[in-house]
Chain A
């Protein structure tokens, strides 16, 4: 079995963990250094958790590979119970009631639930009786994703909630029509364009687009008029309602993030004000990355990192100190490693004989990818601020342990891909 373990993935994983820890070391280092495993320091703690994660990873290979398929549903139900339990026994850290206090360390069930949901979804979809083309089954699958997401939302932890939506990629892979993705994208675009340019311009744009379609279509192609009309009208209705949702449903802090992200606020002075207050993190992070240049300022030489100017720079904003100290070469390399990791995992998923393994593999990729996409996108100013960590990179015990578990369960399945399942 050891020969079938995918060492490429483990190499890429190890690289990310290593680079991540180096940056955590740089951001949390203070003058009185004693040892790397100094438990009073954050880098020391993180190193301990990394070692723990390695042990866990090895342990996972000793688990019978069918265990995960068999107990997927059970784990899912346990995680739901744990999420519900948070409402009663949860401990509040950083404004979110998403932790259990276990004495030695704090346990975050939403991390655990990610694994459980990926397993449960794979199990449900791989069931012989499930047909993804049936709308009813589509709804069941979507429910599996939505229930934990909805339970996490009021903690409040919208970032983690968002992660579950990535599991839709599993559904798309298994045959959910991609048109849904297109519709979701259109919805997001209407939302953004309405905020940026107003309803009138969205209307004009839609009109132009439709006329372009008619202009350049082949004469033989007939476009059904009524669905098109319904589509346009509903687009306009959505556009009209955007303002309402934005002003009434969103809170000011959310609006501020959008105002900054989309540069909706045109007044340069107010924009600067936002930059210095709510946009402070992003602004400082961007400045820190920019100041890195091509080669960076060097390890432990980042002035902004040293001055601790970017809040949360060892957790969600870890990428900014990478950018400052290692420059474009560093950031480019890390992006490359992530991309290679995802592509390798995709390759592994596709070579699975068992549907369950493939589906779980897709779940793993989706969850890792959405973290990577949202986190880096936020730090480099492409996306609004959403607080989720960078997998394998950010400081946090729960994070490193569960991401490792998530990944290595799949590596276990992959290593045992030639075994016939016995049920």
Chain B
């Protein structure tokens, strides 16, 4: 025993040491060590971020140089502080605190002394800089916008945060990443690939030389330019029209699914989120919880679609064969659900498909809706069929637009109603509001625009998308060049489109016709409610409008949604007709109408529910 003691300890310690070393060197070892080796400094060479052009090749987003004055504290020598401060536009106190902070961070590493100088300041500073050892100017690249519009589409870039660093090993602290819009969606295309140089350093952070003679170094890969489907002028024009209004507009080219304009009101100038004022501006925009300028209403707002939805109900009824265009329903200035009368604004009388649509008769569509469900033995079956048809128009689910946000809207299923009423305890009259696009259905403006495009195409659509081409190769994701067919046969679209054209000729939009352009459209006036002091309160109706033109050869389909804009033909209708004219003709002939739209605002309407006072809704002031 006593002879074996030291012997066994020696063996034991040897085994423990080898065990520990194999854990350290074989299991903890990773080949990625170059990055966390303090002896190897990684220097990145950042390529320029790709430019963004509109559908006509006009520049939307470029880059601008910005200049930072850098300092390496221990390399500085005594200098004429006063003169230098004047040059930089600093007070002596500011200068001293900044120097102190830089010295505290590191005396050997560069710190930013004055950030993001303009080009003019840079020019005057540059030649004198040589006098001041330890200071130098570093060039950076910032986004430069060639438009004041499209902030919601273009998005912005900002420094990576800790979550990004954890999730994506590509980035290192201080780098920029696309946060929203196409900057986020096409981040990898736009940013390119940074070049890497490894430099061997000693523990005093002095450069000894290139690590492994630069064998591991890589060259930067330039970011690609992209062309997007937005029409710069249409986008700018739409945003001008939206001044003082809240809502969303989406215009699509039906034959390609390309998004021509995507407007959210209120919006902001994308340049606000670049440069020295960035964080101040961001805070201001982000915390405006009333107007919510950073909330993209064109793709995130989910109002009830209102009367434009009637056209789909008509199509479903035609497809199911429960009506013909000649089928008639009588409107008693409303219709009856059991003993309850529901109102209608169409003026009453006998309605067929044509007058039902162009006068937007609620009674006609209530009748049609009942017939669809009446065809099937159970309401469940009817609901399934109805849901299937509706969803084939891209409603009730995420569309798959190439933007990082979106909402599904809602096409209620039978399960949805089973949850609300109980299994088998509801019938079509419970959900009759769906016939006129109220009730439980909801759709985002981009879904409405897509639905309109599908009608314009008589039964098919391309998934709406923002990308037109990437770099020189031009290839885009194949999912955007694949046709989606609706479940409605082509022939049923003809009478519906005819009726939609009549909306302009005789119907609810007859006052906003455009000379020599034939438009098909549908107004929508959407009741809506909010909670004020715990009480459900009705607010002024949302104004909605969908339209496409020209009727025979559609080039643009547009959906306009204006919060609390009252009648569909008022704000939404006017804006839609102006946008269509602008896009198709390039100029506006009805200047009085244009002037009215540019000047009118709804701020008074938006202030009502917040005033704390009783207020009237749906006022006829115009």
Interface residues, chain A, CB within 8 Å of chain B?
Answer: 169, 172-175, 178, 181, 284, 286-287, 289-294, 303-304, 306-309, 323, 327-328, 331-332, 335-336, 338-339, 342-343, 346, 350, 362, 365-366, 369, 373, 376-377, 380-382
A303 touches B2 (CB 8 A): no
Contact A307 B203 (CB under 8 A): yes
Task: Please determine whether A178 and B1 come into contact, CB atoms closer than 8 angstroms.
Answer: yes
Q: Given A173-B2, A290-B28, A307-B208 in contact, is the A328-B22 Cβ separation under 8 Å? A: yes
Q: Do B24 and A380 touch (CB < 8 A)?
A: yes
Interface contacts beyond A173-B2, A303-B211, A307-B201: sample of 12 additional A-B pairs, CB < 8 Å, sorted by A: A174-B2, A181-B5, A292-B29, A293-B29, A294-B29, A303-B39, A308-B203, A327-B25, A328-B22, A335-B14, A350-B3, A380-B17
**Given that A289-B21, A291-B29 are contacting pairs, would A365 and B6 also be in contact in the complex, using a CB cutoff of 8 Å?**
yes
Contact partner, B2, options A172, A289, A292, A366, Cβ 8 Å: A172
CB pair A346 B10 closer than 8 Å:
yes
Say if the beta carbon of B13 comes within 8 Å of chain A: yes
Complex Cα spacing A70 to B14, Å: 36
Is B476's beta carbon under 8 Å from chain A? no
The reply to whether B203 and A339 form a contact with Cβ atoms under 8 Å apart is no
Check A172 against B5 for contact (C-beta < 8 Å). yes
Contacts of B622 in A (CB 8 A): none
Known contacts A307-B39, A309-B39; A173/B5 CB under 8 A: yes
- Least Cβ distance of B302 to chain A in Å? 43
By the criterion CB–CB under 8 Å, are A307 and B16 in contact? Answer: no
The reply on B620 being an interface residue by CB < 8 A is: no
Q: Residues 522-558 of chain B: 1 if any A CB is under 8 Å from the residue's CB, otherwise 0? A: 0000000000000000000000000000000000000
Is the Cβ of B21 less than 8 Å from the Cβ of A331? yes
Q: What B residues does A307 contact at CB under 8 A?
A: 38-39, 200-203, 208
Residue pairs across A and B with Cβ atoms less than 8 A apart, 15 shown, are A172-B5, A172-B6, A173-B5, A174-B2, A178-B1, A290-B24, A294-B25, A323-B24, A323-B25, A332-B18, A332-B22, A339-B10, A350-B3, A376-B17, A380-B17
Please indicate the chain A residues that have their CB under 8 angstroms from the CB of B202 in the complex.
Answer: 306-308
B:1-56 near A, CB below 8 Å: 1-3, 5-7, 9-11, 13-14, 16-18, 20-22, 24-26, 28-29, 33, 36-40
Q: Is the CB–CB distance between B25 and A289 below 8 Å?
A: yes
Residue on A with the closest CB to B202? A307
Q: A306-B202, A309-B203, A382-B16 are in contact. Are A328 and B25 (CB under 8 A)?
A: yes
Q: Please, which residue of chain A has its CB at the minimum distance from the CB of B200?
A: A303
A346 with B7: CB separation less than 8 A: yes
- The CA of A172 and the CA of B9, in the complex, are separated in Å by 13
**Cβ of B211: which chain A residues have Cβ within 8 Å of it?**
303
Are A339 and B14 neighbours in the complex by a CB distance under 8 Å?
yes
**In the assembly, what is the distance between CA of A62 and CA of B40, in Å?**
52
Interfacial residues of chain B within 168-203, with CB under 8 A of chain A in the complex: 200-203
Closest partner residue, chain A, to B17 (CB atom): A335
Report yes or no: A290 in contact with B1, Cβ–Cβ below 8 A: no
B6 touches A169 (CB 8 A): yes
A248 and B202 CA atoms in complex are apart in Å by 39
Closest residue of chain B to A295 (Cβ to Cβ) is B25
A380 touches B203 (CB 8 A): no
User: Do A343 and B10 have beta carbons less than 8 Å apart?
Assistant: yes
Q: In whole angstroms, how far apart are the Cα atoms of A206 and B36 in the complex?
A: 44
Q: Which residues of A contact B22 (CB under 8 A)?
A: 328, 332
Contacts of A373 in B (CB 8 A): 13
A178 to B10, CA, bound (A): 16
In the complex with contacts A304-B37, A346-B6, A293-B14 CB distance below 8 A: no
Q: How far is the CA of A412 from the CA of B7 in the complex (A)?
A: 22
How long is the Cα–Cα vector from A277 to B17 in the complex, in angstroms?
Answer: 26
| Across-interface contacts of A284 in B (CB, < 8 A) | 38
Residues of A within 8 A of B29 (CB): 290-294
The answer on a CB contact under 8 Å between A173 and B6 is yes
* Nearest CB of A to B419, in Å: 45
Residues of A within 8 A of B37 (CB): 287, 291, 303-304
- B39 A286 Cβ-Cβ under 8 A: no
Residue of A172, A306, A328 touching B208 (CB-CB under 8 A): A306
Does the CB pair B26–A328 fall under 8 Å?
yes
Q: Which single residue of chain B is at the shortest CB-CB distance from A339? A: B14
A336 to B202, CA, bound (A): 32
Q: Mark B194-233, 1 if CB is under 8 A from A, else 0.
A: 0000001111000010010000000000000000000000
Alpha-carbon distance A308/B22, docked complex (angstroms): 24
User: Considering residues B1, B11, B18, B200, which has the most beta carbons from chain A within 10 angstroms of its beta carbon?
Assistant: B18
Check if A306 sits within 8 Å of B39, measured CB to CB.
yes
CB-defined interface of B247-265 with A at 8 Å, one 1/0 digit per residue?
Answer: 0000000000000000000
> Does B24 lie within 8 Å of A289, measured CB to CB?
yes
A335 touches B6 (CB 8 A): no
Q: Which residue of A lies closest to B205 (CB)?
A: A307
Give the distance in Å from the alpha carbon of A181 to the alpha carbon of B1 in the complex: 13
A331: B residues at CB distance < 8 A = 21, 25
Q: Which residues of B contact A172 (CB under 8 A)?
A: 2, 5-6
User: If the complex has contacts A290-B28, A293-B26, A339-B10, are A328 and B16 also in contact, measured as CB distance less than 8 A?
Assistant: no
The closest CB in chain A to the CB of B25 belongs to A328
Q: Is the CB of B16 within 8 A of A332?
A: no
Is B200 within 8 A of A306, CB to CB?
yes
Q: Are the C-beta atoms of B40 and A332 separated by less than 8 Å?
A: no
Which residues in window 234-292 of B have CB below 8 A to A? none
Are the CB atoms of A343 and B7 closer together than 8 Å? yes
Residue of B whose beta carbon sits closest to that of A380: B20
Of B6, B9, B33, B203, most A-chain CB atoms within 10 Å = B6
Residues of B within 8 A of A303 (CB): 37, 39-40, 200, 211
Q: Assess whether A332 is in contact with B208, with CB atoms less than 8 Å apart.
A: no
Query: Looking across the interface, which residue of chain B has its beta carbon closest to that of A169?
Result: B6
Q: Name the A residues within 8 Å of B17 (CB-CB).
A: 335, 376-377, 380, 382
Report whether A380 and B208 are in contact in the complex, using a CB–CB cutoff of 8 Å.
Answer: no
Chain B residues positioned under 8 Å from A294 (CB to CB): 25-26, 29
A169 near B201: Cβ-Cβ < 8 Å: no
A309 to B41, CA, bound (A): 13
Q: Which of A174, A175, A181, A286 contacts B24 (CB 8 A)?
A: A286
| B26 & A362 in contact (Cβ 8 Å cutoff) | no
Chain B nearest CB from A78 CB (Å) reads: 28
The 5 closest A-B pairs by CB, nearest first: A307-B39, A303-B39, A328-B25, A339-B14, A293-B29
Give the residues in chain B near A339, CB-CB below 8 Å: 10-11, 14
Complex: chain A residue closest to B209, CB-CB: A306
B 560-598 contacts with A by CB, 8 A: none
Write the nearest CB–CB distance from A308 to chain B, whole angstroms.
Answer: 5
- The residue of chain A having its C-beta at the shortest distance from the C-beta of B14 within the complex is A339
List residues of chain B with CB within 8 A of the CB of A175.
2
Closest to A309 in B: B203
- Chain B residues within an 8 Å CB radius of A338: 14
A308 to B16, CA, bound (A): 28
Nearest B residue to A342 via CB reads B10
Q: How far is the CB of B29 from chain A (nearest CB, A)?
A: 4
Q: Are B6 and A369 in contact (CB under 8 A)?
A: yes
Hey, which chain A residues are within 8 Å of B39, CB to CB?
303-304, 306-307, 309
B residues less than 8 Å from A365 (CB atoms)? 6
Distance in angstroms between the alpha carbons of A325 and B36 in the assembled complex: 17
* Nearest B-chain residue to A382, judged by Cβ: B20
Could you say which residues of chain A place their CB within 8 Å of the CB of B16?
Answer: 382
Q: Closest A-chain residue to B211, C-beta based?
A: A303
Nearest-CB distance from A167 to chain B (Å)? Answer: 12
